[in-house]
A and B are shown apart, each in its own frame.
Chain A
């Protein structure tokens, strides 16, 4: 079974803090993704990576950065957290080049920024 883990289920931070969200997958997947999910807005892609040290902006990258130093780990960084970044953050991974592009999700991190 594919396993995607995220470092925290719940996180509370203060405005202006630097926040690190970690994601690890154990299936040797090339692709990894960070989404946020908000009521009424669905899942929105923040960043994705299709290889080590590679990253691509998604639909809403502003205020975020990412790091992929190892294949199994993809980190999302909030350089200076703001209250509008309060959300559920979901990490996903998928194998490259193998249809049909199914993504496997971690359990999510519910981040609250005060």
Chain B
């Protein structure tokens, strides 16, 4: 079983749509959770951290369910520029600073 699992997609949505990505993680001892964004042929960049209470950054909302070991990302009013791969990331509980990356979910927003 993969430590962080995501549906690879691709998700093809029209501009203006709302799209949700989900992710599950296997180690209940993980304490830090993130969504990273990676554009084609570029490096991953932090999109947002995910907090237990849920958090929002403009059109992006992240949720964490520790009991189910489940993380989600909701994008409202999709823009063409949102087209990218979204990586679900959790920390390695060994406290070495290591992160565990999901394989990513690809989003294509079409006009």
Binding partners A and B: yes
Tell me the A residues contacting B by CB distance below 8 Å.
30-31, 33, 40-43, 45, 48, 50, 56, 58, 90, 94, 96, 99-108, 110
Query: Given that A41-B103, A99-B32, A101-B91 are contacting pairs, would A50 and B43 also be in contact in the complex, using a CB cutoff of 8 Å?
Result: no
A31 touches B104 (CB 8 A): no
Q: Is B96 an interface residue (CB 8 A)?
A: yes
- Picked from B33, B97, B101, B104, the residue with its CB within 8 Å of the CB of A94 is B97
**Which of the candidate stretches B9-17, B18-26, B44-52 sits at the interface with the other chain?**
B44-52
Q: How far is the CA of A104 from the CA of B34 in the complex (A)?
A: 13
Query: Would you give the shortest CB distance from B26 to chain A, in whole angstroms?
Result: 15
Total CB contacts across the A-B interface at under 8 A: 53
Task: Identify the interface centre among A43, A94, A96, A106: most chain B CB within 10 Å of its CB.
Answer: A43
- Picked from A48, A100, A104, the residue with its CB within 8 Å of the CB of B98 is A48
Instruction: Kindly list chain B residues whose C-beta atoms are within 8 Å of the C-beta of A50.
Output: 96-97
Instruction: Kindly list chain B residues whose C-beta atoms are within 8 Å of the C-beta of A48.
Output: 96-98
Q: How far is the CA of A106 from the CA of B91 in the complex (A)?
A: 19
Instruction: Kindly list chain B residues whose C-beta atoms are within 8 Å of the C-beta of A108.
Output: 42-43
Tell me the B residues contacting A by CB distance below 8 Å.
31-34, 41-46, 49, 87, 91, 96-99, 101-104
B103 touches A42 (CB 8 A): yes
Query: Would you give the shortest CB distance from A103 to chain B, in whole angstroms?
Result: 6
Q: How far is the CA of A107 from the CA of B101 in the complex (A)?
A: 17
Q: How far is the CA of A80 from the CA of B99 in the complex (A)?
A: 28
Query: Given that A48-B96, A90-B43, A108-B43 are contacting pairs, would A100 and B103 also be in contact in the complex, using a CB cutoff of 8 Å?
Result: no
Instruction: Kindly list chain A residues whose C-beta atoms are within 8 Å of the C-beta of B87.
Output: 42-43
Query: Would you give the shortest CB distance from A78 to chain B, in whole angstroms?
Result: 20
Query: Would you give the shortest CB distance from B75 to chain A, in whole angstroms?
Result: 21
A100 touches B34 (CB 8 A): yes
Instruction: Kindly list chain A residues whose C-beta atoms are within 8 Å of the C-beta of B32.
Output: 99-101
Query: Would you give the shortest CB distance from A47 to chain B, in whole angstroms?
Result: 11
